[in-house]
Structure 1
Amino acid sequence: MISWRTGLTIALLVGAIASGWSVWRQSRPVDDGVLKTRPDYVLRDFEITSLDKQGQESFTLRGPVLQRDPADKTMELATPVFLVPDRDNRYWRINAKYGVVPADGSQLQLRGKVLATSPADAPPATRIETEQLNLFPGENRATSAVAVAITRPGLTMNGHGMQADFDRQQISLLSQVRTRYVPQR
């Protein structure tokens, strides 16, 4: 027969072991994927000017948040605003809901309510609206594979797919193009 003191000692020992194990388990970080997806750096309320190989401005990027994923080296942008100079150093302004910059930095993938407007002093005033735009800043061009609307004074064009050259102010819709022309008075 076990005395009550021996029973109490065994119960306290089991309780101490269980408490110690519980504290040890909670003190270790749990690999639930949260730590793997945490950005390795975050910029807030930033402005970045990127230069090309000749030291000329390639684009300026402004936004409230930029964060980089350490696993694949991509950067995510919240409500980015890009200012892209044309060959005469006039700026196209491009806004989007969000953007992604792949690790190689060769293009900027803008998504959600993308709006590009031509320089104010470079007629005709041009407005490009789409849900997806891939911007190639080193080449001053952009592409889209989805529906695009282009508006100029007296002219509205809608189509599917687009190629744009900002230096030449040339924009081409690729398919299903509909145009509406209203003469200016």
Structure 2
Amino acid sequence: MRLRRWLTLGLLAAAIASGWSIWMRAHPDDGGVLLARPDYVLRDFEVVSLDKQGKEAFTLLGPELQRNPADRTLALATPRFLVPDREGRYWDVRAQRGLVPADGSRIELHDDVLATSPPQAPPPTRIATDHLALDLNRNLASTSADVTITRPGLTMQGKGLEADFDHQQVSLLSQVRTRYVPQH
């Protein structure tokens, strides 16, 4: 009879411990936020953001956007930004992934970043890098990474970039190499 009592108490303790463990996993200590999953996901989305004057600041398209509830950041899969210049022509900016911090102050693009100037604004310009930070409130872009800029007959490579989409101005910051091939 004693063995049965000890066995029953042992099984009861094991059941309580496993129940408590399951309950703790379902109710984390950080304010009830489950850190492993986003609190919302958008798929095949298009977002048009307006500035303070009600004009289009940018359009964001992509297959998936996820919001992290812990730090309120947005993770973007293969985002595409259409950024209008002051004439209403669009720069096309793409990347493999992007991140928007909680304050929405900028957008960090990573992996195979490609920015293409508006087709109506010659000369056609293509900017390629691995990382690009976009300040869409001021239509500026910057990076400290390696950059390649191509235009018809011209290839420039350097480290670091500052770009002003409104004024169609792009500057490489250091280690600049240029190759010019005259067009015939």
- If the length of structure 1 is used for normalisation, what is the TM-score? 0.89
Distance of 1:153 and 1:138 partners within structure 2:
30
**Which portions of structure 1, spanning 4 or more consecutive aligned residues, are displaced by more than 4 angstroms?**
31-34
Are the counterparts in 2 of residues 58 and 138 from structure 1 also a CA contact under 8 Å? yes
Instruction: Classify the secondary structure of the residue corresponding to 2:15.
Output: helix
Name the aligned partner's letter for residue 144 of structure 1: T
User: Runs of 5+ in structure 1 lacking a partner?
Assistant: 1-5
- The aligned residue for residue 16 of structure 2 is 21
Give RMSD over aligned pairs: 2.0
Instruction: Classify the secondary structure of the residue corresponding to 2:5.
Output: helix
Name the aligned partner's letter for residue 179 of structure 2: R
Query: Deviation per CA, 1:15-64, whole angstroms, max 9, x where unpaired?
Result: 54145325523531325999224322211111100000000000000111
- The aligned residue for residue 156 of structure 1 is 155
Change (3 A) 1:23 1:103: closer
| Deviation (angstroms), 1:8 | 5.7
Are the counterparts in 2 of residues 40 and 69 from structure 1 also a CA contact under 8 Å? yes
Distance of 1:76 and 1:119 partners within structure 2:
26
Matches for 1:24-173 after TM superposition, within 5 Å: 24-30=19-25, 31=28, 35-173=34-172
| Higher-Rg member (1/2) | 1
Distance of 2:7 and 2:70 partners within structure 1:
46
Number of equivalences = 180
Are the counterparts in 2 of residues 37 and 71 from structure 1 also a CA contact under 8 Å? no
Instruction: Classify the secondary structure of the residue corresponding to 1:139.
Output: coil
Distance of 1:8 and 1:132 partners within structure 2:
67
Name the aligned partner's letter for residue 28 of structure 1: W
Change (3 A) 1:71 1:27: closer
User: Runs of 5+ in structure 2 lacking a partner?
Assistant: none
- If the length of structure 2 is used for normalisation, what is the TM-score? 0.89
The 10-residue stretch of structure 1 (39-48 or 55-64) with the greater mean CA deviation from structure 2: 39-48
Instruction: Classify the secondary structure of the residue corresponding to 1:48.
Output: strand
